[in-house]
């Protein structure tokens, strides 16, 4: 009996100890939770350190309003190379391939003209025979002009273009020369000489081949496209502007364009303004001349065109102005909201009025409201 009582007493004491221990642990956790809450509440969010944000000083002045115009660079001069003769393409010193550069006057492509040139020389030889046969009659009937005709025949050179015929001194001499088929044969040969020159295409300006359609040794026919030749160094920018803006543009007006790829500015000059409105975009096509060795056809450029001037205005970054046209300023040691007037805006800046000179404008953005916060060191 005493043993049972002892066991019951031991169990009771154990239960009491466990209860006391659990209560102590819960009290400890509760105290820690209350401490964390108190620590958090110490950050009341009523101040902001000066080093946590940046400001700029407002300096009002005359500010221009700009609009963004964009366009791609295209060659100012583009020539389609087309064959006017038939034959095989000759192998030249420079390959007839895309990207090959040529200076003005250099041969771009040539077609074998051997057969045509030989036939032309045969016609010249026949013409020389005509002149030779009529020389005795010229000497007898027109002695005053005979020396001019003799000099013409004597200076004939094989392979060289025919020089201009001597002028006749009388109507009878002109009729005699005409009756000998001199003029008819002469102009027929000059036409063939002109055609002989079409067997060789030379560069009309400094440029390069942008595309080619034939290879060396290939057979070409009259009217067959050979390739495209574009100018180098001199380009145009084609862009579209609103009808109202087009009315403010003039030929010769200069606009600054920028290339983000090259990180460089280029000066564009208005060279043409189309009189026709683009039905798709409702914009007026405008063309700017732009020069630069770094430019390439297809390069994308952005330009800014000045529209108006505003007095006592200031440009700010677009991300620091709220939808209700308010900005944050530092005043009397606190951050305060200030309403401004937006007079112009673009992708890169917003032009405002309503701030006094010397105002500290906050340019750092925050994810939480900062209006009313005090400034601390």
The encoded tokens of residue 263 equal: 């990180």
User: How far is residue 62 from each of residues 65, 131, 287, 311, 314, measured CA to CA in Å?
Assistant: 10, 82, 29, 4, 8
pLDDT digits (tens, 9 = 90+) for 206-244: 999 999 999 888 899 999 999 999 988 789 998 988 887
CB of 259 closer than 8 Å to CB of 266: yes
* CA quadruple 145, 146, 147, 149: dihedral sign: positive
Residue 31 has pLDDT above 80, yes or no: no
The pTM assigned to this predicted structure is 0.60
**Environment class of residue 227 by beta-carbon count within 10 Å: exposed (0-12), middle (13-18) or buried (19+)?**
buried
pLDDT digits (tens, 9 = 90+) for 258-287: 998 899 999 999 999 998 888 888 899 999
* Model confidence band, residue 10 (pLDDT cutoffs 50, 70, 90): low
Residue 229: count of CB within 10 angstroms of its CB: 25
pLDDT of residue 132: 94
């Amino acid at each position: 009996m005493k043993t049972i009582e002892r066991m019951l007493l031991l169990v009771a004491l154990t239960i009491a100890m466990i209860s006391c221990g659990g209560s102590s642990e819960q009290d400890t956790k509760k105290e820690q939770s209350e401490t964390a809450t108190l620590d958090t509440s110490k950050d009341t969010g009523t101040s902001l350190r000066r080093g946590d944000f940046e400001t700029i000083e407002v300096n009002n002045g005359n500010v221009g309003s700009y609009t963004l115009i964009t366009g791609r660079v295209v060659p100012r001069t583009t020539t389609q190379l087309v064959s006017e003769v038939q034959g095989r393409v000759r192998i030249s010193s420079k390959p007839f391939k895309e990207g090959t550069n040529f200076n003005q006057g250099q041969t771009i492509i040539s077609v074998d003209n051997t057969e045509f040139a030989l036939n032309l020389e045969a016609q010249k030889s026949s013409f020389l025979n005509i002149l030779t046969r009529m020389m005795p009659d010229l000497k007898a009937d027109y002695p005053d002009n005979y020396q001019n005709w003799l000099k013409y025949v004597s200076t004939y050179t094989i392979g060289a273009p025919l020089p201009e015929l001597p002028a006749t001194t009388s109507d009878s001499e002109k009729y005699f020369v005409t009756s000998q088929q001199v003029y008819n044969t002469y102009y027929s040969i000059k036409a063939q000489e002109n055609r002989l020159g079409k067997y060789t295409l030379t560069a009309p300006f400094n440029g390069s081949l942008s595309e080619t359609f034939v290879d060396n040794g290939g057979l070409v026919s009259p009217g067959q496209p050979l390739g495209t030749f574009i100018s180098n160094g001199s380009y145009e920018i084609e862009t579209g502007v609103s009808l109202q803006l087009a009315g403010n543009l003039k030929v010769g007006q200069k606009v600054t364009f920028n290339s983000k790829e090259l990180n460089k500015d280029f000066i564009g000059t208005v060279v043409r303004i189309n009189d026709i409105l683009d039905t798709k975009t409702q914009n007026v096509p405008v063309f700017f001349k732009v020069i630069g060795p770094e430019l390439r056809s297809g390069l994308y450029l952005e330009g800014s065109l000045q529209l108006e001037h505003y007095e006592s205005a200031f440009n700010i970054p677009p991300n620091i102005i709220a939808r209700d046209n308010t900005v944050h300023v530092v005043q009397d040691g606190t951050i305060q909201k200030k309403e401004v007037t937006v007079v112009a805006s673009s992708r890169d800046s917003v032009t405002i009025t309503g701030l006094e000179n010397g105002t500290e404008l906050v340019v750092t953005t925050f994810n939480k409201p900062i209006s009313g916060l005090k400034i601390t060191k």
